[in-house]
Amino acid sequence: MSTLAPIWIEGIGVWAQGAADWPSLRARMAETRAEPSDDECAGKPAAALLAPGERRRAPISVRLAVEAGAQAVAMSERDASTLPCLFSSAHGDSGILDYMCATLAEAPRELSPTRFHNSVHNAAAGYWTIATGCHAASDALCAWRHSFGAGLLEAIGEVLSGGQPVLLVSYDVPGEGPLGEMIDSRAPFGCALVLAPAQSERSLARLDVRTGPAQAVSSAQAPFLRWLAERNLSAGAAPLLEALADSGSHTLEMPAAPALGLHIAMEVAP
Amino acid sequence: MNTRVMTPLAVSAYTAVSALGNGRQGHARALAEGRGGLRENDISSAPLACWIGRVPGIEAHALPEDMAHWDCRNNRLVHMGLQADGFIERVRAARERYGRERIGVFMGTSTGSIEATEAGYRQLEDGRLPAALRRPGIHSLHSLSAFTAEYLDLQGPALTVSTACSSSAKVFAMASRMLALGVIDAAVVGGADTLCDSVLFGFNSLELVSKRPARPFDASRDGLSLGEAAGFALLERTDAAPDAPRLVGYGEASDAHHMSTPHPQGLGAELALRDALARAGLDAKAVDYINLHGTATPKNDEVEAALLARTFSTRTRASSTKGYTGHTLGAAGIVEAVVALTAIEHGLIPGNLGCDEPEPVCASHLALQAEHRPVHVALSNSFGFGGNNACLAFAHARGAGA
């Protein structure tokens, strides 16, 4: 059991079909309807931060991560070029992995070089640092079913050890092809938080985190968040996002590894 | 960046398996004798004409029965690597001392067990992966860390870093932060990547693979040789292993330049190097040996040679060891950390195998043949796609000036 120093959330970004930013997700959370409509499912992350050429080359997972990250940084009013960034994703771009495995099985010499370099798990971190001119540390991680909680713990570690704000982005896209059956991902979802080591006029919430044995995991109440959490491992963030939408005190249990939990006491500003 | 000097950590056990063999002795001997492990490619489904650093015996290696659900080439390599140098015994002792929930597992990989997914796509059954490969765990990039934690019976944080070729260098940074935070008392760090079609045909599509054995820093170099490897280190506070070599610094930085070519002036690489020296509280003059990233691609070595020449005097000896092992991608960080630790423990500067006519700018820094001299401080550079750079600093237990 370890008690960590407090940290503060300064920015929130989200993208889901039918909830393209934090205000829309808050509105969507109030609805009793869970499933997005066909029109909502046609939406794609804008990722306006990317230069047009990069945006054309970027796979959908990168556009999703960049969109969520850009929203969170804009809300925090921090300078993305100096902000260490950490991208967590259970499966990265599983659509590209499906393409690669299918091509390698049939015509390996025809593998596309662009899709190969886009297949690296740190593609989102690469495109993000290029778009923002960021020379700080960038990270790309995963922890399968615990990717959000593990990413949050690592991001807190970076905030506290470096004494500086850090951007955390967690995102997953739907699995495709035969690999898709092995992947617990059936809807796109990305979220991002700017975390800081001290309170400021931009603070949205204070988090006091204790690590310890895994407990019964908290789950969100809003039908849409529950729908997402069943279809996307990055939506492990759902209970934290739901708490952020409601000023006051909250306690949450989030898993960071099979036997390790994060006990989070949150104080959300009005 | 306001880098603070870090509290050094003991590297109380370490080991690696690569084309040079299984365990530290095999590596030290091959490096001392200048004997490489590359061979003609005989692995991919339609072999490309190139050379590879293949680990013999993986195909016949079996996981323990109770671990069969993790079986795949990459996890067999992990399991092979864990058997050498008393690593498991040292982890067991740490588990008894600290408790299994107080030890983290941080592993780096580039492609994890994608080789099993590739194999599944070659044998589809009615459009599905064959029944024997319908095991979600091995199709997750986290496969190697989940397997390592389960096999070693560790229950602390378990994370996989996948920043291409810097992955298993960055795990040292992550473990250091978790130790500093007090979340854990020890960490198993490492990484593994196996040869597979994704990387052989992928790097070939980018025209980065040489038809000959890789020649890092040679004026005529024309690309890399791919390899496979796994490696591990146990990090603890220094009072637990006062005589063990130490991790004294780490540095991380981004190029912000291009997805698959390095920054032309090596900006991210230099920031990572300076960050590592600052965290170690060391001047460049204190560095005895630097294990270079040295992939043998024309661009990487050009940029890294210039960085070496402008940062260090020729008192600092340097070499790339990718001519021995091939470029082991996500495992390169840990394998070359093991080389740097071997340099410190044996007073052995490995020769830069494959280089006959060195790049003029760094010719007087490069050790072309093995050199025997005391090494108190050794660095290891690891740079990845997406402009992801890391640098590690290790020192002798008696310190930089011992």
Nearest-angstrom CA–CA distance, B149 and A46: 39
Mean pLDDT of chain B: 96
Residue B261 contacts residue B390 (beta carbons within 8 Å)? no
Q: Which of A233-242, B29-38, B91-100, B256-265 has the lowest mean pLDDT?
A: B256-265
Does residue B378 belong to any structural domain of this protein?
yes
Q: Which of A37-41, A263-267, B64-68 has the lowest mean pLDDT?
A: A37-41
DSSP 8-state assignment for residue B6 = P
Domain count of chain B? 1
Q: How confident is residue B377, by pLDDT bands cut at 50, 70 and 90?
A: very high
Q: Which pLDDT belongs to residue B3?
A: 79
Nearest-angstrom CA–CA distance, A110 and A104: 8
Query: Would you say residue B366 has pLDDT above 50?
Result: yes
Distance to chain A for B157, nearest Cα, Å? 6
**DSSP secondary structure, chain A, as one string:** -EEPPPEEEEEEEEEETTB-SHHHHHHHHT-S--SPPHHHHT-----TTS-HHHHHHS-HHHHHHHHHHHHHHHHHT--GGG--EEEE-SSS-HHHHHHHHHHHHH-GGG--HHHHHHTSTTHHHHHHHHHHT--S-EEEEE-GGGHHHHHHHHHHHHHHHHTS-EEEEEEE----HHHHTTS---S-EEEEEEEESS--TT--EEEEEEEEE--PPP---SHHHHHHHTT-GGGGGHHHHHHHTS-EEEEEEEEEETTEEEEEEEEE--
State the CATH architecture for A8-202. 3-Layer(aba) Sandwich (3.40)
Active site residues of B: 165, 293, 327
In this prediction, residues B154-169 reach a mean pLDDT of 98
Q: What is the number of other CB atoms lying within 10 angstroms of the CB of residue A107? A: 11
Is there a contact between A178 and B114 if contact means CB atoms under 8 Å apart?
no
Is there a contact between A164 and B2 if contact means CB atoms under 8 Å apart?
yes
Q: What CATH number does residue B122 fall under? A: 3.40.47.10
CA distances from B390 to A231, B268, B383 (A): 35, 9, 6
Q: Which pLDDT belongs to residue B398?
A: 86
All residues of chain A having their beta carbon less than 8 Å from the beta carbon of residue B223 are none
All residues of chain A having their beta carbon less than 8 Å from the beta carbon of residue B226 are none
Does residue B1 belong to any structural domain of this protein?
no
Question: From the centroid of its chain, how far is CA A47?
Answer: 14
Q: How confident is residue B4, by pLDDT bands cut at 50, 70 and 90?
A: confident
All residues of chain A having their beta carbon less than 8 Å from the beta carbon of residue B2 are 162-164
Nearest-angstrom CA–CA distance, A143 and B56: 29
> Of the candidates B161, B201, B386, which has its C-beta nearest A123's C-beta?
B386
Is there a contact between B134 and A181 if contact means CB atoms under 8 Å apart?
yes
Domain range for B252: 9-395
Does residue B4 belong to any structural domain of this protein?
no
Q: Which of B14-28, B45-59, B63-77 has the lowest mean pLDDT?
A: B45-59
Tally C-beta pairs within 8 A across A and B.
Answer: 233
Is there a contact between A138 and B137 if contact means CB atoms under 8 Å apart?
no
Give B331's contacts (C-beta < 8 A, 6+ positions apart). B18, B108, B109, B168, B191, B192, B193, B228, B229, B230, B231
Residue A183 contacts residue A142 (beta carbons within 8 Å)? no
Q: Which pLDDT belongs to residue B2?
A: 64
CA distances from B199 to A76, A109, A188 (A): 39, 12, 27
Q: Which pLDDT belongs to residue B400?
A: 58
Nearest-angstrom CA–CA distance, B389 and B251: 8
Is there a contact between B178 and A150 if contact means CB atoms under 8 Å apart?
no
Run of H or E residues at B146: helix B143-152
Percent of chain B with pLDDT over 70: 99
Does residue B2 belong to any structural domain of this protein?
no
Run of H or E residues at B392: strand B388-395
Query: Would you say residue A17 has pLDDT above 50?
Result: yes
All residues of chain B having their beta carbon less than 8 Å from the beta carbon of residue A81 are 256
In this prediction, residues B7-32 reach a mean pLDDT of 97
> Of the candidates B136, B159, B385, which has its C-beta nearest A143's C-beta?
B159
- Of A185, A189, A195, A239, nearest to A85 (Cα)? A195
Query: Would you say residue B65 has pLDDT above 90?
Result: yes
Does residue B17 belong to any structural domain of this protein?
yes
pLDDT digits (tens, 9 = 90+) for A65-118: 999 999 999 999 999 999 999 999 999 999 999 999 999 999 999 999 999 999
Q: Which pLDDT belongs to residue B402?
A: 43
CB-count exposure of residue B2 (10 Å: 0-12, 13-18, 19+): exposed
Residue B61 contacts residue B22 (beta carbons within 8 Å)? no
ipTM, interface predicted TM-score of the complex: 0.97
In this prediction, residues A111-134 reach a mean pLDDT of 96
pLDDT digits (tens, 9 = 90+) for B280-324: 999 999 999 999 999 999 999 999 999 999 999 999 999 999 999
Is there a contact between A104 and B128 if contact means CB atoms under 8 Å apart?
no
CA distances from B152 to B62, B75, B92 (A): 16, 13, 8
Query: Would you say residue B384 has pLDDT above 90?
Result: yes
Q: Where are the alpha helices (DSSP H) in B281-331?
A: 298-311, 322-325
Query: Which tokens belong to B153?
Result: 């019976």
Residue extents of the structural domains in chain A: 8-202
Give B274's contacts (C-beta < 8 A, 6+ positions apart). B251
Mean pLDDT of chain A: 97
Run of H or E residues at B168: helix B167-181
Query: Which tokens belong to A237?
Result: 């963030």
Query: Would you say residue B355 has pLDDT above 70?
Result: yes
